[in-house]
Amino acid sequence: MEKGARNLKSLKFYVHTFGCQMNKNDSERIAGILSTAGGKISNSPEESDIIIVNTCAVREKAEEKLYSYLGRLATFKKKKKSTIGVVGCVAQLYGSELLEKKPFIDFVLGPDNYNQISEIIHSNHEEKFASTSWSQDYNEIPHEKTFRESNISAYVTIMEGCNNFCSYCIVPFARGREKCRPMQNIIEEIQSLADKGYKEIQLLGQNVNSYKDPDTGKDFSILLKEANQTEGIEWIRFITSHPKNFTKKIATTMKEAEKVCHQLHLPVQSGSSSVLKRMNRGYTREEYLEKITILRNLMPDISFSTDIIAGFPGETEEEFQETLSILEEVRFNNIFSFRYSPRPLTVACQEKDTISFEEKRRRLIEVQDLQKKIQLELNKSLIGRDLKVLCTGKSKKAPHIYSGRNEGHQVVNFKSKNDVIGCFVDVHIASYGPYSLHGEAIKQ
């Protein structure tokens, strides 16, 4: 062993994740690197020798939560000399500044630098270390190393970064420009997941519709068709789709490739064309609605979800009403809604924000109340139906109840006489809430 090196085999590690599915998959990959090096995964930061915090910068609130979590880690560190690494979007944005401001942090790594983790930890760097460089190509972490949370449904990253520069969004600064993963590596990973018994895959990227194989130029539709050939995988989903890059060709592939779920997360952000323009989204309300119509004509059973930002700078009451009316018009099965939050480096944060915090809050509540009403109506209409559900575990609240999702990605909680975790089950829907459906497994 080199001087200063330590043996990872006796070390426990803990990875705490903030943020999106992409971060969750990155954490699974980081945990894979550490466990391959011999480390033992732990559920408690207090007991761990190595603590990795994977961070999110997309909204102010995520950053605030991070700083309060880091405060707790600073207290542990007084009792136990753990190695603390901060990785992900906040790490990329602030780099070595974080080491100066939070002296209990040992290293900082941006999203393109995770391959360095085991080396840093092995060599027991006495000096603090920040690495936030970008590489030209997609940075492959061998997929065999991924330490997945689920053994039923798996995330598969297909591209990283974003070239869109929506005026409110910090992601292009935190994740860099778009880089696509070679299709051959993606397909190999999907095949190995199928071999391990996974039933569902979720393809991940900030802008999956603009995927292009760096080796052959094959596009996202071709990737979906190839993934569809994988024996053993039964459901394929993907996230996130940008409406401007969502083509008729992709819609047709969704219809034709039988494993691709009839479910789409298509973030609209606002129902007002003038706000969309100021957001630099690259489509109008009408163009967005036209895509929804095309998709519904092709797949009448398709379920949609979206993201909404309430109180974008300068959003007038009339513009806000257009967001409410697009919710009524599309009737999404689910939405993720946020109060506008100014982010450094973005174009929007340089504009004068004339909408008060209270007004933003009011608009957000109005969006959420309307959507709750719509979801109750949609879910009510499913009473008496039998839905195919992929059971992923037991309900957190009631351990005798099983839980999973239907093709539309809605949460379904149900009773079953048999243990059905990891199986597809037909569930007879008997009751509902705004955010979930409830029923009983049909005898098989």
Under the rule (CB under 6 A), what is the footprint of ligand SF4?
Answer: 162, 164-166, 169, 171-172, 206-207, 242
DSSP H or E run through 14: strand 12-17
Q: How far is the CB of 348 from ligand SF4 (least distance, A)?
A: 11
Which span sits near ligand 5AD by CB under 6 A: 100-108, 327-335, 339-347, 366-374? 339-347
Identity of the residue, 301 or 358, whose beta carbon is nearer to ligand 5AD in the bound complex: 358
309 near ligand 5AD, rule: CB under 6 A: yes
Residue 340 touches which of ligand 5AD, ligand SF4, none (Cβ within 5-8 Å per kind):
ligand 5AD
Give yes or no for residue 59 binding ligand 5AD (CB under 6 A). Answer: yes
Instruction: Closer to ligand 5AD by CB, 161 or 267: give it.
Output: 267
CA 442 to chain centre: 32
Binding mask 394-423 for ligand 5AD (x = CB under 6 A): ------------------------------
The nearest distance, CB 343 to ligand 5AD, in angstroms, is: 5
Which helix or strand (DSSP H or E) is residue 330 part of?
A: helix 317-330
Using the minimum distance from each CB to ligand 5AD, give the nearer residue, 58 or 121.
58
Alpha-carbon distance 200 to 151, whole Å?
A: 10
Cα 39 to Cα 144: distance, rounded to the nearest angstrom: 16
Please state the closest distance from residue 334 (CB atom) to ligand SF4, in A: 18
Task: Residue 172: name its binding partner from ligand 5AD, ligand SF4, none (Cβ under 5 to 8 Å by kind).
Answer: ligand SF4
Query: Smaller CB distance to ligand 5AD: residue 310 or 390?
Result: 310
Residue 226 near residue 189 (C-beta atoms within 8 A): no
281 burial type by CB count under 10 A (0-12 exposed, 13-18 middle, 19+ buried): buried
Kindly state whether residue 238 participates in binding ligand 5AD, applying the rule CB under 6 A.
no
Asked if 269 interacts with ligand 5AD (CB under 6 A), we say yes
Are β-strands 263-265 and 303-310 bridged in parallel, bridged antiparallel, or unpaired? parallel
Given candidates 164, 253, 341, 406, which one binds ligand 5AD under the rule CB under 6 A? Answer: 341
Give the one residue of 46, 307, 359, 407 binding ligand 5AD; rule: CB under 6 A: 307
d(CA 232, CA 141): 24
Least distance CB 166 / ligand 5AD (angstroms): 7
C-beta separation of 395 from 420 below 8 A: no
Please, which of residues 150-189 interact with ligand 5AD by CB under 6 A? 168-169
CB neighbour burial string for 131-158, b if at least 16 within 10 angstroms, e if fewer: bbeeeeebeebebebbbbeeebbbbbbb
Does 58 help bind ligand 5AD (rule: CB under 6 A)? yes
Does 24 bind ligand 5AD (CB under 6 A)? Our answer is no
Closest CA to 280 of 367, 352, 346: 346
**Is residue 202 part of the contact set for ligand 5AD (CB under 6 A)?**
no
Rounded to an integer, what distance in angstroms lies between the CA atom of residue 15 and that of residue 121? Answer: 14
Compute CA 158 distance to the chain's CA centroid, rounded to the nearest angstrom. Answer: 13
Output the six-digit token pair for 397.
């609240």
Return phi, psi of residue 295, to 5°: -65, -40
The nearest distance, CB 171 to ligand SF4, in angstroms, is 4
Of 307 and 426, the one with the shorter C-beta distance to ligand SF4 is: 307
> Binding to ligand 5AD by residue 237, rule CB under 6 A?
no
φ, ψ for residue 438, nearest 5 deg: -130, 145
| CB 23 to ligand SF4: min, Å | 13
d(Cα 331, Cα 375) in Å, to the nearest integer?
Answer: 8
Burial of 52 (0-12, 13-18, 19+ CB in 10 A): buried
| Locus of tokens 């070239």 | 163
Contact set with ligand 5AD (CB under 6 A): 58-59, 168-169, 267, 269, 307, 309, 338, 340-341, 343
